[in-house]
């Protein structure tokens, strides 16, 4: 091994970095246990506590994910229920609804694109109803995706 003398600054920095060694998986167990006892910790009890803490944290995370999924399903169901209203609407009202969706900030572009080569007035009432129901479903999915994107994963 080639040895090279360090400057005092380099040596002092290396010494200060020794803290990090406490996290090194290669430190012998007896050294870690002795250090733990020196600050009043029972190493065996702390290890057991750590495993329980992690299990609880993972369970909380899993439940958090399930709750979010349930909320999204409920939202989609709610939106699906809303589509029944189109059955009672006449053509003029259906066209007004369509116009409202054409102005929608998230999916308005897709709605306008659907009528690029024809006029909405040329569609039958049944076609308009089917289209509006589809638009509602797409909007609900957009909303769910936007919420998912806004949740953030962090690191």
Partner 1 sequence: MPDDFPADLDWGQQLLQGALYAERRARRFGLRITGAEAKAVAGQALEQIIAAGWDRTLYAEFADCVESRVRGIIINRSRKKATRQEVPAEPAHPSPTDPSPSPEQVAADRQLANRATTLMLERLDGNADATAVFMEMAQGNDRPADIAAETRLAIGKVYRARERISDLSAEIAAALTKELAP
Residue 143 · residue 75 · CB < 8 Å: yes
CB of 11 to partner 1, least distance (A): 5
**Ramachandran bin of 139, using left for φ above 0, alpha for ψ from -120 to 50, beta for the remaining angles:** alpha
CA distance 74 to 84: 16
Residues 6+ positions from 81 with CB-CB distance below 8 Å: none
CA distance 5 to 82: 77
By CB under 8 A, tell whether 21 contacts partner 1: yes
Find the part of the chain contacting partner 1 (CB under 8 A) among 29-37, 91-99, 105-113, 123-131: 29-37
> Going residue by residue from 37 to 66, which x/- string records binding to partner 1, judged by CB under 8 A?
--xxx-x--xxxxxx-xx--xx-xx-----
By CB under 8 A, tell whether 90 contacts partner 1: no
Question: Which positions touch partner 1 (CB under 8 A)?
Answer: 1, 3-16, 18-28, 30-32, 34-36, 39-41, 43, 46-51, 53-54, 57-58, 60-61, 153-155
């Amino acid at each position: 091994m080639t040895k090279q003398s360090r400057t005092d600054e380099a040596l002092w920095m290396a010494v200060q970095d020794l803290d990090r060694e406490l996290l090194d998986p290669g430190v012998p167990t007896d050294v870690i246990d002795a250090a733990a006892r020196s600050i009043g910790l029972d190493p065996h009890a702390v290890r057991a506590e750590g495993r329980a803490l992690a299990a609880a944290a993972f369970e909380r995370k899993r439940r958090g994910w399930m709750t979010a999924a349930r909320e999204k399903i409920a939202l989609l169901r709610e939106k699906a229920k809303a589509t029944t209203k189109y059955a009672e609407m006449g053509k003029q009202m259906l066209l007004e609804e369509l116009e409202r969706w054409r102005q929608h900030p998230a999916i308005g572009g897709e709605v306008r694109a659907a009528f690029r080569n024809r006029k909405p007035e040329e569609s039958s009432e049944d076609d308009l109803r089917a289209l509006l129901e589809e638009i509602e479903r797409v909007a609900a999915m957009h909303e769910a995706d936007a919420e998912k994107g806004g949740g953030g994963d962090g690191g």
